[in-house]
């Protein structure tokens, strides 16, 4: 489920990737602050309080939409301030991945680690806007919309008629301890979405890092799970620029 606009005091859980301004303390003590910076397409790493609320906001901006997997988080969205308040369901401990879009059109991949810590706030600091004539067309608002749609299609196994979809099944060399299979490719304009399966073929647990899958031309990377038990697998989502020969 995708929230296109935040509504005051609405509470929901979202499905399939962090940030906030802490302006004051709460009763009984002040909140901590995590300040994260990045441009459009960046991956943001932050921490969520296991038992208390975590507040996410955008410096000098608003959160336009937030998407995580169904049931992974409780979300209170405040339309007046453009921020969200997150709670972690009881017993949850795995990292939460999702996507956050700001009112200026920047799209971030979220990697949120659940920790036993007090109430916290996360601030997302966006780069200063450049003059319109200096912006790259590939990072335009139409691109942002295409990214959001592409990630949704891949996460929900959708095969729309207006998008070229290629089933692959091609195996790629990754590491000795892991296998990597390209499942499906989605082609939209000058952009390609790729969905992979990463499997742990070793006898020990494995911790993945989305940064390990970055390469030139890639703007979005997201994993369903960062921790894989022996024999376990997860989906990897990649959004990149289309190559000249594609």
The lowest-confidence range among 1-15, 63-77, 209-223 is: 1-15
- Residue 141: its pLDDT value, please? 59
Who's near 138: CB < 8 A, 6+ residues apart?
A: 190, 241
How far apart, in whole angstroms, are the C-alpha atoms of residue 126 and residue 242?
26
- What are the backbone angles phi and psi of residue 143, rounded to the nearest 5°? -65, -45
Cβ–Cβ < 8 Å for 64, 93 = no
Residue 198, pLDDT above cutoff 70:
yes
- Residue 150: its pLDDT value, please? 83
**Which is more confidently placed, 5 or 147?**
147
Q: Mean of the per-residue pLDDT values for the chain? A: 77
- Residue 14: its pLDDT value, please? 30
CA–CA distances in Å: residue 142 to residues 17, 53, 129, 160:
21, 34, 17, 18
The lowest-confidence range among 7-21, 71-85, 97-111, 114-128 is: 7-21
How far apart, in whole angstroms, are the C-alpha atoms of residue 191 and residue 141?
14
Q: DSSP label at 144?
A: H
Q: Which residues in the chain are classed under CATH 2.60.40?
A: 10-125, 139-241
What's the CATH fold of domain 139-241? Immunoglobulin-like (2.60.40)
CATH number for domain 10-125, candidates 1.10.1220, 3.40.50, 1.10.1660, 2.60.40: 2.60.40
Tell me if the pTM is above 0.75.
Answer: no
- Residue 37: its pLDDT value, please? 85
Task: Report the pLDDT averaged over residues 190-215.
Answer: 86
Task: Report the pLDDT averaged over residues 39-54.
Answer: 88
Percent of the chain at pLDDT above 70?
A: 80
CA–CA distances in Å: residue 141 to residues 59, 101, 107, 147, 163:
20, 11, 10, 10, 19
């Amino acid at each position: 489920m995708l929230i296109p606009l935040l509504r005051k005091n609405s509470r929901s859980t979202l499905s399939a990737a962090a940030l906030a301004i802490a302006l004051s303390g709460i009763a009984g003590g002040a909140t901590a602050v995590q300040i994260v910076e990045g441009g459009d397409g960046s991956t943001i790493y932050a921490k969520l309080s296991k038992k208390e609320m975590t507040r996410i906001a955008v410096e000098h901006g608003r959160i336009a939409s937030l998407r995580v997997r169904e049931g992974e988080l409780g979300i209170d969205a405040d339309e007046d301030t453009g921020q969200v308040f997150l709670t972690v369901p009881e017993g949850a401990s795995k990292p939460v991945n999702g996507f956050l879009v700001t009112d200026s059109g920047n799209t971030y991949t979220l990697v949120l680690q659940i920790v036993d810590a007090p109430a916290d706030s996360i601030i997302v600091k966006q780069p200063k806007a450049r003059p319109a004539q200096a912006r790259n067309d590939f990072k335009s608002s139409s691109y942002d919309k295409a990214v959001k749609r592409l990630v949704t299609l891949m996460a929900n196994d959708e095969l729309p008629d207006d998008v070229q979809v290629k089933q692959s099944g091609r195996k790629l060399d990754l590491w000795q301890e892991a296998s990597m299979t390209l499942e499906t490719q989605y082609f939209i304009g000058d952009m390609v979405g790729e969905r992979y399966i990463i499997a742990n073929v070793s006898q020990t647990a494995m911790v993945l890092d989305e940064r390990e899958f970055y390469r030139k031309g890639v703007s979005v990377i997201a994993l369903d799970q960062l921790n894989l038990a022996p024999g376990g697998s997860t989906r990897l989502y990649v959004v990149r620029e289309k190559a000249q020969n594609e």
